[in-house]
Amino acid sequence: MTRLLVWRHGNTDYNAGGRVQGQTDAPLNARGRDQAAAAAALLASFHPDVLVSSDLSRAHDTASALASLTGLSITPDPRLRERHFGEWQGALLTDIESRHPTEYARWRAGNPSPGCGIESLDDLAKRVVEALQDAADLAPGGTVVVTTHGGAARQGCGALLGWPNEATRTLGSLRNCHWTELTDRSRRVGGTGWQLTAHNVGVPSQN
C-alpha cells in the first residue's frame, strides 16, 4: 500500500491579509514557520520515504521543516505550484470583488475558467495529478509527503481519485499546514486504486 500525504504550506502574510497568492512567491511568516515545525513533528511519525515540494518558497520552506527532522532531501517540482490567478495575483479579494464582479462571481461559483487570465481547473488538475502520481511512484508501497498549496492540493487529489469538478469542490479547503491522506491499494489483490483516507489532518491546536 502506498500512502500519499498532500500537505499545504504554512501561513503567509498574503493569507493573513486576504490577498490572492497564486504563483506569487510569498514567504512564510513567523506563524507559518511555527506551524510548519509543529506539523513536521507529527508527519515525521509516519516515517516518510520521499519528500517532494512545489518550488515556491512557502511550500519548500514548509517541507524543509520535515526534511530537517527526517534527513530526507526535498525534490522540487514546479507542477505542484498553486493555480495561476492571472490578473488577480497579489490583489486583495475585496478589491477583486469590486473590480471584477462577474469573474469573481464565476470563480466563487466554481466556474472552471472564470476569466481574467486565471488558469483553468482542468489545466491545474492535469499538471498537479501528474506530479502527485510521479511522486507516489518514487516509493511504491511506501509513504510519500508532497508539499503544495490549497487549491492545487484539492484539484490534484480530486483528479487522482477520478472525481469530476463538482465532487472535488465538496472537499473543504485545506487549512495551513494540514494535509490530505490518500492510499493506493491497487498493488494488493482485489485493490481498487487511490482512496481518500483522511482530509484536513494536522496539529489540533493549529487553525
Is 8 a known ligand-binding residue?
A: yes
H or E element, residue 18: none
Yes or no: say if 12 and 177 are a contact pair by the CB < 8 Å rule: no
- 111 is annotated as contributing to ligand binding: no
Cβ contacts of 97 within 8 Å, gap of 6 or more: 104
Query: Is 12 annotated for ligand binding?
Result: yes
Reply yes or no on whether 82 is catalytic: yes
Whether 143 has a binding-site annotation, put simply, is no
Rounded Cα distance, 158 and 31, in Å = 29
Residue 122 labeled ligand binder: no
Joined grid coordinates for residue 177: 499546514
103 catalytically annotated: no
**Nearest in space to 136 (alpha carbons), one of 161, 108, 102, 113:** 161
From the candidates 60, 82, 149, 178, give the one annotated as an active-site residue.
82
10 labeled part of a ligand binding site = yes
H helix or E strand, kind and range, residue 131 = helix 121-136
Angle at which helix 30-43 crosses helix 57-70, to 10 degrees, equals 40
- 15 labeled part of a ligand binding site: yes
Catalytic residue among 9, 60, 149, 178: 9
Which residue positions form the known binding site? 8-15, 58
User: What amino acid positions are annotated as catalytic residues?
Assistant: 9, 82
Which residue positions form the known binding site for substrate? 8-15, 58
